[in-house]
Amino acid sequence: MKRVVLYVSDKCPHCREAKKYLDDNGIQYRLTNAKMQKCKEVEKS
Protein backbone atom coordinates (compact mmCIF):
# COMPACT_ATOMS: atom_id res chain seq x y z
CA MET A 1 0.00 0.00 0.00
CA LYS A 2 1.31 3.48 -0.84
CA ARG A 3 1.94 5.98 1.93
CA VAL A 4 0.40 9.43 1.90
CA VAL A 5 2.31 12.34 3.41
CA LEU A 6 0.43 15.63 3.59
CA TYR A 7 2.68 18.70 3.81
CA VAL A 8 0.71 21.54 5.38
CA SER A 9 1.17 25.06 6.66
CA ASP A 10 -0.85 26.60 9.46
CA LYS A 11 -2.92 29.10 7.48
CA CYS A 12 -3.33 27.27 4.18
CA PRO A 13 -7.00 26.75 3.24
CA HIS A 14 -6.07 24.17 0.59
CA CYS A 15 -4.24 22.14 3.22
CA ARG A 16 -7.38 22.07 5.37
CA GLU A 17 -9.45 20.97 2.36
CA ALA A 18 -6.99 18.17 1.54
CA LYS A 19 -6.96 16.99 5.16
CA LYS A 20 -10.78 16.99 5.26
CA TYR A 21 -10.91 15.00 2.01
CA LEU A 22 -8.53 12.37 3.35
CA ASP A 23 -10.43 12.15 6.65
CA ASP A 24 -13.84 11.94 4.95
CA ASN A 25 -12.64 9.12 2.70
CA GLY A 26 -10.91 7.14 5.43
CA ILE A 27 -7.47 7.53 3.87
CA GLN A 28 -4.59 7.21 6.31
CA TYR A 29 -1.86 9.82 6.06
CA ARG A 30 1.05 11.38 7.90
CA LEU A 31 0.85 15.10 8.55
CA THR A 32 4.06 17.12 8.18
CA ASN A 33 4.51 20.83 8.75
CA ALA A 34 5.94 22.21 5.50
CA LYS A 35 7.61 25.17 7.22
CA MET A 36 9.68 22.81 9.35
CA GLN A 37 11.05 21.03 6.27
CA LYS A 38 14.19 22.65 4.87
CA CYS A 39 14.33 20.36 1.88
CA LYS A 40 11.73 17.86 0.82
CA GLU A 41 12.05 15.32 -1.92
CA VAL A 42 9.07 13.89 -3.68
CA GLU A 43 9.31 10.23 -4.58
CA LYS A 44 7.73 9.24 -7.86
CA SER A 45 6.92 5.66 -8.58
pLDDT at 33: 87
pLDDT at 11: 87
The alpha carbon dihedral of 28, 32, 34, 39 has a sign of negative
pLDDT at 13: 94
pLDDT digits (tens, 9 = 90+) for 1-45: 788 999 998 889 999 999 999 999 999 999 988 877 654 554 443
The whole-angstrom separation of Cα 5 and Cα 32 is: 7
Closest-CA residue to 15 (of 5, 27, 26):
5
Question: pTM of the entire structure?
Answer: 0.69
pLDDT at 34: 82
pLDDT at 44: 43
